[in-house]
Amino acid sequence: MKETAKGEKYEAARSSWAPLCGISGSLGSTSQGNSHTKPQADISGGAGQLVGTWRLNSRVVTLEDGTAIEDTGLGKTPAGHLIYDSSGHIAAQGMRADRPLAIDCGTSTPAPSNNSQSVNGYDAYFGTYTIDETSHTVTHHLEGALAAADVGKNLVREFHASDDKLTIIVRTNSPNEIRTLTWERLH
């Protein structure tokens, strides 16, 4: 009975604020019928290493030849959190350290392939993830994102995890950039 009351209270609250935020009524269901959106049941191997909450320690962007460049969207030293849960869900947020106080809801320059897009120095998305143990990659299947154009994308990242350190490498081809993100496990 207690659960029912909680569920009813949640539904009542959601129905009152969801239309204001432009959120559809299907918040409770994230399955889109595609095999990649099903929660990952087996968290052994690489997936087990990813499960947890991670804080961004560093983010370095270089061209293929090793030349360091600055990302115009999130800058040189962004802050961020990355969460992988044991049922195959992910949430990621990144924020430019020196983002302006004035709100500009325009997006940054178009996101290169295999990357998400920041808006006003902020990037966020959620969805599910799958692991390819052979290639040491994790694919983020975006179900929701700050930038509407990112919804539905499948972002492939190389990863290396050991103890409380996670390194994620993102390769884009427009231009050919390599983004190396180093994360520290919080939980």
Can you give the pLDDT at residue 77? 93
CB 73 within 8 A of CB 123: yes
Could you state, in order of their start, the residue ranges of all structural domains in the chain? Answer: 1-28, 40-185
HEC-encoded secondary structure of the chain = CHHHHHHHHHHHHHHHHHHHHCCCCCCCCCCCCCHHHCCCCCCCCHHHHHCEEEEEEEEEEEECCCCEECCCCCCCCCEEEEEECCCCEEEEEEECCCCCCCCCCCECCCCCCCCCCCECCEEEEEEEEEEECCCCEEEEEEEEECCHHHCCCEEEEEEEEECCEEEEEEEEECCEEEEEEEEEECC
The CATH number assigned to the domain with range 40-185 reads 2.40.128.280
Q: The tokens of 127 are what?
A: 């969805």
| Model pLDDT for residues 17-64, shown as the tens digit of each residue | 333 333 333 333 333 333 433 344 455 566 789 999 999 999 999 999
- Name the stretches of the chain with pLDDT < 70: 1-46, 105-113, 174
Length of the chain: 187
pTM, two decimal places: 0.73
Q: Which pLDDT score is estimated for 45? A: 62
